[in-house]
Structure 1
Amino acid sequence: MNAAIDLAGKLATFSEAWQPRTVSLFNGHDVMVAKLRGDYHWHVHDDSDDFFLVLAGSLEIDLDDGTTVTLGPGQLYVVPQGMRHRPRAPHEAQIMLIERTGTPNSGHLATAAPRRVI
């Protein structure tokens, strides 16, 4: 890959919420973009952290300990592995995620969004 990746351009290719798209690979990890709207369900990743970087809009991440992390453009948060959490976006948020390739976004393969590469 010799060209820069245009994240806004990649985000413009789809409209579905909560359906990450892989835009690059990095040391065995998928670098993904996603659009988020509304509430996602509570879930946990038992064997990996969950990385969120907001590109546009705002994102709230409710944590099992009762706290809520609020992120705006240019802000990131890493949910530690084993921490139950629920991301939500009252209005559309555009984010970047980095996860080990094969990590289910929902915490479980049976409910995960399929891996899509764009």
Structure 2
Amino acid sequence: MLKANLKHKFDLFDEYWTPKIVAEFNDQYVKIAKLKGQFIWHDHENEDELFYIVKGSLLLKFRERKDIQLNEADMYVVPAGVDHLPVAEEECWVMLIEPKSTLHTGSTKNENSVAIEDQKWI
């Protein structure tokens, strides 16, 4: 693994809600994504998902627990099986750490879903 500058990596793409892989370790991927607007309700049945806010803010909505507002430099782990809806009013840069087997939108499939094999390294 070579040194990676996340700001430079974020400058390489413009699309929203499409995670890019920047590193892997211990069967985990480190991904970055630009978020804007509302995503979709989904869960990851077997995997926890770590959100770290690099820039901007993100609201994580939950069906069965209190919503969480994340701001720059905040981190939150969504436990496996917890239904969540990410919402970014303005552009938000996020780093995700999750097992390599984690499906982008969990068991929910729609036009926003990106298959594991289609998630690109950047």
How much does 1:51 deviate?
Answer: 0.9
d(CA) in 1 for partners of 2:108 and 2:121? Answer: 17
Q: Identity rate of aligned residues, in percent? A: 34
Runs of 4+ displaced beyond 6 Å: none
Unmatched runs of 5 consecutive residues or more in structure 2: none
d(CA) in 2 for partners of 1:67 and 1:105? Answer: 23
Deviations 1:10-39 (A, max 9, x none): 010000000000001011111011000000
Structure 2 letter corresponding to 1:115: Q
- Which residue does 1:25 correspond to in 2? 24
Three-state SS of the structure 1 residue aligned to 2:9 is helix
d(CA) in 2 for partners of 1:62 and 1:109? Answer: 16
Q: 2:42·2:108 contact (CA, 8 Å) conserved in 1? A: no
- Which residue does 1:116 correspond to in 2? 120
d(CA) in 2 for partners of 1:102 and 1:39? Answer: 24
TM-score using structure 1 length: 0.93
How much does 1:108 deviate?
Answer: 3.1
Q: 2:36·2:91 contact (CA, 8 Å) conserved in 1? A: yes
TM-score using structure 2 length: 0.90
Three-state SS of the structure 2 residue aligned to 1:108 is coil
Taking only aligned residues, the RMSD between alpha carbons, in angstroms, comes to 1.4
Unmatched runs of 5 consecutive residues or more in structure 1: none
How much does 1:102 deviate?
Answer: 2.9
Are residue 103 (structure 1) and residue 102 (structure 2) matched? yes
Residues matched between the structures, number: 117
